[in-house]
């Protein structure tokens, strides 16, 4: 697949909590069948690489991102830290709920019973016996129809995936209106996100969602839109039909926890060849290394990243802000052919280098993106991008990024990255 210069190799990094059902739900088709599963990092990398060709193979995300999407940033980490010890506005259900299998019809009935008075149409669902339970419907409170969906899954307690799922995305890389993370009395973490179906706001469809992860690893995802479908449906109302408090009530309902416990366990002892991944680079170390490698004359105004592999800085040379972001990944050899086309350069030591320059794709007026993608012979990948704006979603602040392609190349090929993997 040819590489497109406008594809952003970091788009799957923008808001890990958003990579669940939000990227697959559509009330007009049963796309939620596979939603709610916690995907292995390797599987996500392969899928993104095959879909997005040479420019994207990142694990984030994401979320899924999935998106995904991508980095958490320092503000999000601060929100999460400050939330410890708080109690939610809705009663927290017991994490020890007995397993309660639900059919598809019962999933719909449970979701409907938690909605305020209104009209429900277009309901579809799958029960817990499928391993991917969900319910989706169109709800109208008399002020306009809105799609509402819930999906259930398991996540490893206190894992990176669990933490990312309930961590608010960084506004620098994933614009949204509001987000909060709260720790409930029973130890569960709840994230309430208020954003948009498309972060670049190319349409006015809003997506609000609740992500609940319990101390036992039960994951309940609830999403709603201010349209009758996630995509390709006209906006019917200014905001989605449920308030953040009502989303929280649905997500914390006790019925869902018992239903998660009833999902069949995946067989254990399966061979894991091809799915195991070496540990990713520590996210804090990625950001600090990126800062150290910035050329002289650039002042760092802000920074952020994820728990592993991804980091960014916003710099200014006095001529305007530039967002610089990097992803450091281990063992990406299996997707090298999709990331590096015939025009890629191969250095004497076998390292592959690809350069891409083109317009940004996140909606910022006049934004351009310059990318240098590198992969060592052992599969260690460092990909760095710079923009002529402090954010991909805001208008350009300068004609070109503050870093040249040569400077980006030098940073990407630095031996310092190899000490992190």
DSSP string, 275-342: T--PPPPBHHHHHHHHHHTSPTTPEEEEEEE-SBSEEEEEEE-SS-EEEEEEEEES--GGGHHHHS-T
Mean pLDDT by runs of 10 across the 421 residues of the chain is 39 37 34 28 34 28 28 38 34 59 96 96 94 95 96 91 89 87 96 89 90 96 94 92 97 95 74 53 93 95 89 95 95 92 95 93 83 96 96 90 97 96 84
- Enumerate residues 6+ apart whose C-beta is below 8 A from 391: 172, 173, 175, 314, 323, 364
* Closest residue by Cα to residue 66 from 54, 53, 74, 56: 56
Q: What is the pLDDT of residue 379?
A: 94
Alpha-carbon span 342 to 358, nearest angstrom? 19
Domains of the chain listed by start with CATH number: 72-262 (no CATH), 283-420 (3.40.1000)
Q: What is the pLDDT of residue 360?
A: 83
pTM: 0.61
* Closest residue by Cα to residue 236 from 363, 139, 124: 139
């Amino acid at each position: 697949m040819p590489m497109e210069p406008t594809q952003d190799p970091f788009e799957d990094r923008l808001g890990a909590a958003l990579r669940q059902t939000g990227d697959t739900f559509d009330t007009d088709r049963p796309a939620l069948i596979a939603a709610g599963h916690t995907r292995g990092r390797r599987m996500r990398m392969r899928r993104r690489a095959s879909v997005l060709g040479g420019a994207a193979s990142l694990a984030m995300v994401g979320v899924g991102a999935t998106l995904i999407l991508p980095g958490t940033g320092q503000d999000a980490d601060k929100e999460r830290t400050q939330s410890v010890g708080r109690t939610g506005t809705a009663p927290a259900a017991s994490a020890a709920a007995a397993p309660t299998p639900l059919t598809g019809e019962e999933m719909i009935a449970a979701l409907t019973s938690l909605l305020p008075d209104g009209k429900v149409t277009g309901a579809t669902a799958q029960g817990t016996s499928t391993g991917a339970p969900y319910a989706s419907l169109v709800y109208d409170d008399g002020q306009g129809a809105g799609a509402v969906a819930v999906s259930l899954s398991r996540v490893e307690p206190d894992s990176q995936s669990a933490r990312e799922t309930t961590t608010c995305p960084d506004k620098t890389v994933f614009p949204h209106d509001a987000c909060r993370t709260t720790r409930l009395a029973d130890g569960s973490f709840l994230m309430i996100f208020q954003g948009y179906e498309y972060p670049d706001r190319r349409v006015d469809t809003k997506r609000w969602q609740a992500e609940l992860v319990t101390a036992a690893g039960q994951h309940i995802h609830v999403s709603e839109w201010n349209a009758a479908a996630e995509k390709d449906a006209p906006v019917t109302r200014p905001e989605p039909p449920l308030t953040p408090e009502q989303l929280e009530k649905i997500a914390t309902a006790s019925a869902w926890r018992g239903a998660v416990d009833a999902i069949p366990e995946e067989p254990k002892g399966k061979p894991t060849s091809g799915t195991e991944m070496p540990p990713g680079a520590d996210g804090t170390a990625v950001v600090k290394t990126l800062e150290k490698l910035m050329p002289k004359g650039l002042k760092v105004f802000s920074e952020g990243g994820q728990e592993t592999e991804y980091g960014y800085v916003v710099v200014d040379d006095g001529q305007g802000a530039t967002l610089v972001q990097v992803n450091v990944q281990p063992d990406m050899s299996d997707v090298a052919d999709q990331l590096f086309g015939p025009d890629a350069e191969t250095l004497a030591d076998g390292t592959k280098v690809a350069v891409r320059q083109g317009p940004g794709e996140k909606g910022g007026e006049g934004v351009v993106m310059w990318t240098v993608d590198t992969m060592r012979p052992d599969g260690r990948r460092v990909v760095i991008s710079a923009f002529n704006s402090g954010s991909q979603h805001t208008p350009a602040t300068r004609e070109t990024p503050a870093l040249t392609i040569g400077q980006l190349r030098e940073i990407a090929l630095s031996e310092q990255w190899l000490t992190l993997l």
